Amino acid sequence: MPLSFGFMGGGGIFKLPLPLRLNYAELDKTYTWHPFTPMRDWCAPEHEPLMLCSGEGCYLVDQHGNRYLDGNASIWTNIHGHCHPRINEAIKAQLDRVAHTSYLGFGNPPAAQLASELVGLFPDGGLEKVFFSDNGSTAIEAAVRMSLQFWRQNGQPGRDVILAFDAAYHGDTLGAASLGGIPLFKGSANQFGYVVQRVRTFEDLAALPADDLQHIAAVIIEPLVQGVNTMRIWPKGMLKALETWCRGQGIFLILDEVMTGLGRTGTMFACQQEKVVPDFLCMAKGLSGGYLPLAATLVNQRVYEGFLGAPSEGRTFFYGHSFTGNQLGCAAALASLAVFREEKVLEQLPAKIKAFDRLLQGLTDMAHVLEVRRCGLIAGIELVKQRSPRLDYETAEQVGARVCVAARKHGLLTRPIANTIVLMPPLCVVESELEAMVRAVRLAVEEVCGA
């Protein structure tokens, strides 16, 4: 029977409604299958999975009451910290009205208000309509399918190729994965999915022959920084040049702001740093403050109007998911946007980013740190066996993963991408927490790689 029990977690008492006597770690190992996880090692007798039971601000608490800093904002989702009272209250209040209703054939108040506020985040216009879905991958699917259908029914059916960048990552559903350029994550999408033409740089794209260009429906890019590609930063000005090129060619620009959106890069959206307005903008992860699965694909008026017509004309966008426009998620997102305004979150970012930069700079003289890549409150710390001449660790050494496990002893939770350690704290992080995160990475790297 569920019972409540509380324990001291340093910052306060965390109350958990837990059924006592269950060994959750054992249940997990016996019954569940985790994403991106080699399950044989996970289930090995000597491995006790960390079960995260509660959180407050930038901290998470495990089954033993140990507190950790949430160094990757719970896989890049959390924005204002865990259990933010404003967001918790908004979800509870919505729950007492209704949790979920169909968005197919019906509207609802929080989704309508959220759509208007999202459009309002682009005060200079250019993005006028909001299509809701559940996660980053579906936000991308919606944008790509809209772009293809748009051309098909608006006079240019030959535009059926999506132009994507090398080493891009846009999600794991079949279509989204087919856009990705990292073989490890493409899986069976290698043979299936969209017709994709791939380029490495903007210069490669600009050099494409005219014959190719007439088949391209849209270009898709992660603006400013390729996340899963170990936090690679695009050259300054590249996004603006890409926008100009797309306009000149009459090709759609799709921005994947699933990771970069909602303040991560220092502005509400990465594209705003280069004053770029795409035809499609996809957001997810941080949209609900990172509390509930919610995504949105914003489009301009032209795209929207390309789907209007009598039902018999077959111009409708026949795509969607059961939880589209979820009322709890939209209520959380509205509260998260209110926190942005009320707590002046964006205004506080420059000082935090400056401190983060200074702290990360301190890692660059470590023997095994090849490079620290940073954009806003996003950082990738790449580790190598030897800096010069460069010698990489073997995959089998699992150095990135071992560093992240070692960091737990120093109070930090995060996850690597290969041998790049990611730090991406919630935006509510304070300087002392940034300091503790970077210190934990330093100690863990010293322990695993040697000083």
Looking at the Cβ atoms of 71 and 136, the one nearer to ligand PMP is: 136
Is 141 one of the binding residues for ligand PMP (CB under 6 A)? no
Is 74 one of the binding residues for ligand PMP (CB under 6 A)? no
Looking at the Cβ atoms of 32 and 116, the one nearer to ligand PMP is: 32
Phi, psi values for residue 11, rounded to 5°: -80, -10
Is 135 one of the binding residues for ligand PMP (CB under 6 A)? yes
Strands 378-383 and 420-423, sheet pairing: antiparallel
Apex 299 CA angle, 295 and 300, nearest 5: 160
Is 137 one of the binding residues for ligand PMP (CB under 6 A)? yes
Looking at the Cβ atoms of 137 and 398, the one nearer to ligand PMP is: 137
Apex 437 CA angle, 431 and 439, nearest 5: 100
Nearest approach, Cβ of residue 75 and ligand PMP (Å):
7
Nearest approach, Cβ of residue 127 and ligand PMP (Å):
18
Q: Quick check: helix, strand or coil at residue 254?
A: strand
Give the one residue of 227, 263, 380, 400 binding ligand PMP; rule: CB under 6 A: 227
Give the one residue of 259, 277, 369, 372 binding ligand PMP; rule: CB under 6 A: 259
Q: Quick check: helix, strand or coil at residue 95?
A: helix
The answer to whether 94 and 331 have CB atoms below 8 angstroms apart is yes
**DSSP state at residue 364:** T
Nearest approach, Cβ of residue 96 and ligand PMP (Å):
28
The secondary element (H helix, E strand) that includes residue 20 is none
DSSP 374-399: EETTEEEEEE-SBTTTTBPPPGGG-H
Instruction: Name the one residue in this structure whose structure tokens are 């401190």.
Output: 355
Apex 12 CA angle, 9 and 13, nearest 5: 75
Give the one residue of 136, 289, 400, 425 binding ligand PMP; rule: CB under 6 A: 136
Is 230 one of the binding residues for ligand PMP (CB under 6 A)? no
User: In the structure encoding, which two tokens stand for residue 99, read together?
Assistant: 């949790």
The answer to whether 421 and 383 have CB atoms below 8 angstroms apart is yes
Is 228 one of the binding residues for ligand PMP (CB under 6 A)? yes
d(CA 356, CA 371): 15
Give the one residue of 70, 256, 274, 279 binding ligand PMP; rule: CB under 6 A: 256
Amino acid at 363: L
Looking at the Cβ atoms of 222 and 279, the one nearer to ligand PMP is: 222
- What residue number has its CB nearest to ligand PMP? 136
CA dihedral sign of residues 38, 39, 42, 45? negative
Looking at the Cβ atoms of 70 and 256, the one nearer to ligand PMP is: 256
Tell me which residues in 270-329 interact with ligand PMP (CB under 6 A): 284-285
Nearest approach, Cβ of residue 172 and ligand PMP (Å):
6
Stretch that binds ligand PMP, among 158-166, 220-228, 392-400, 413-421 (CB under 6 A): 220-228
Build a one-symbol-per-residue string for 156-175: x at contacts with ligand PMP by CB under 6 A, - elsewhere.
Answer: -------------xxx----
Residues lying near ligand PMP in the complex (CB under 6 A) are found at 135-137, 140, 169-171, 222, 227-228, 256, 258-259, 284-285
